[in-house]
Amino acid sequence: MAERDIIIKVDNVYKEYTLGSISGRSFYEELLRRKNKEQAKLPQRKKINALNGVSFEIERGEAVGIIGANGAGKSTLLKILSRITAPTSGKVYLDGTLSSMLEVGTGFHPELSGRENIYINGTILGMTRKEIDSKIEDIIAFSEIREFIDTPVKRYSSGMYVKLAFAVAAYLESDIMILDEVLAVGDMKFQKKCLDKMQELSSKEGRTVLCVSHNMVTISKFCKRCIVLDKGSVIFDGDTGEAIQEYFGEKKSTETFIDFSSNRRFLWLQRDEVRLLTAEYVNKNDAVFWEGEKIRQHFKWKYNKNIVNLCLRVEVFDSVENPVCAAFIYDIDSRDAGEQGEITVDMDIFLLREGKYKTIYTLFVRDTNNESVDLDCVNGLEFEKKIITQSEIVWHSKSWGSIELPQLEMVEVQ
């Protein structure tokens, strides 16, 4: 049997964080403890484990997906692999150079131009000036921002930043490429372009790719293998189709409240005018809604700038991330910076077929052309629709989708 060419090995990795602390105890607390250990009865800070004994191996050239709910430990794992943070215990072995695209704001110097940042990233990877010169035209062309390549990246929109960051990660010569929600950018054409490039890197160039995404369609198309994380532990490692089934099978439709204060925003949206604080299902002990029942939700948010005619959008997706429908409420209110807003709404889901659904919540305003300008966007609460009445036909959701329109009305039979 041929020896396996292991490029990434994660061996029993734990990562512990102390809540309410940047790096251990505060300076004041430490002084008190040293002055009088007997009298300084200060409360112990709560600790949480973001990763709990994670272990796996990845062979050179593999494309591996990593999926899990928010808070499962996906981003923590990628930051450890990228050497941004260190594990509390355990070891990580990398046999090759690594480029990563984690979140907007990392990897580029804001005061330098896009071109200058390309050269810096290449130098960090150990490439010579000549080697970077041979790649730079491909990077600029792929990024579609040639007009702004000599502009400081602090002037870039989040979409421009993401395009350049992906192009740099894809074209500069690294053995391992790590991508965290790269296909969350709003440009659908560029998303397809990224996916095609990722497949080329893995299948033709032998690049090892790790991809985190909440889009199961993307994961299933690109990755043959997938790792499922749940509460910091690996609960499945194997075939992607089975991994997705395991992921959705393990998730219970019980969560009725979300606190967005620490929730990571979408990669493509880096604004701060208004922030969702909480969302909850009203008077519900679970997230199961029966036929004929409307979804009553309560939202709270905070204004960081003066906003006129704030609007709310709730997008609904099926269990494999296909978009199903969206509901809107316009011109909720207008308030000044520092104030809070809240609203209770009913969403009628009578057209939805039985099944589990995910949501995305977006606060937005409308511009002069009546286009949506998104201000805050987060993964929302999930829910499950249950049907009581017996259907007259077995519903094939893969072919027919998730919405059943009212029965056709007979006009004439000839």
Q: What are the residue boundaries of the structural domains of the chain, listed by start?
A: 6-250, 257-389
CATH code of domain 257-389: 2.70.50.60
Is the CA virtual torsion 142, 148, 150, 153 positive or negative?
Answer: negative
Question: Could you identify the residue written with the tokens 């809240």?
Answer: 342
pLDDT at residue 24, rounded to an integer: 47
Nearest one of 67, 60, 101 to 84, comparing CA atoms? 101
Q: What is the pTM of this model?
A: 0.59
Rounded Cα–Cα distance for residues 280 and 297 (Å): 6
Per-residue pLDDT of the chain (414 residues; tens, 9 = 90+): 567 889 999 999 999 987 655 444 555 555 555 555 555 555 566 678 889 999 999 999 899 999 988 788 998 998 899 888 899 999 999 998 888 776 545 678 889 999 999 998 888 877 888 988 999 999 999 989 999 999 998 898 877 888 888 888 888 878 888 887 765 555 677 777 888 888 888 777 788 989 888 777 778 778 889 999 998 999 999 988 888 878 876 555 678 999 987 666 665 566 788 999 999 999 888 898 888 889 999 999 999 999 999 999 999 998 878 899 999 999 998 899 889 999 999 999 989 988 889 999 999 999 888 888 889 988 899 999 988 655 666 666 667 777 877 777 777 777
CB 8 within 8 A of CB 58: yes
Whether domain 6-250 has CATH 3.30.43.10:
no
Tell me the CA distances in angstroms from 144 to 140, 162, 221, 269, one per residue in order: 6, 11, 25, 19
Tell me the CA distances in angstroms from 352 to 135, 217, 255, 326, one per residue in order: 49, 20, 20, 12
pLDDT at residue 124, rounded to an integer: 80
> Residue 278: enclosing H or E segment and its boundaries?
strand 274-281
pLDDT at residue 349, rounded to an integer: 92
- Token pair, residue 184, equals 């969350």
Torsion of CA 207, 239, 59, 227, to 10 degrees: 90
Nearest one of 96, 119, 97 to 108, comparing CA atoms? 119
Tell me the CA distances in angstroms from 283 to 294, 297, 343, one per residue in order: 12, 9, 15
Task: Tell me the Ramachandran region of residue 90: left when phi exceeds 0, alpha when psi lies from -120 to 50, beta otherwise.
Answer: left
The residues facing 98 across adjacent strands are: 176
Which residues 6+ apart lie within 8 Å of 98 measured at CB?
81, 82, 83, 174, 175, 176, 177, 178
pLDDT at residue 158, rounded to an integer: 76
Nearest one of 15, 3, 55 to 237, comparing CA atoms? 55
The residues facing 257 across adjacent strands are: 280
Task: Give the pairing type, strands 383-386 and 355-366.
Answer: antiparallel
pLDDT at residue 39, rounded to an integer: 52
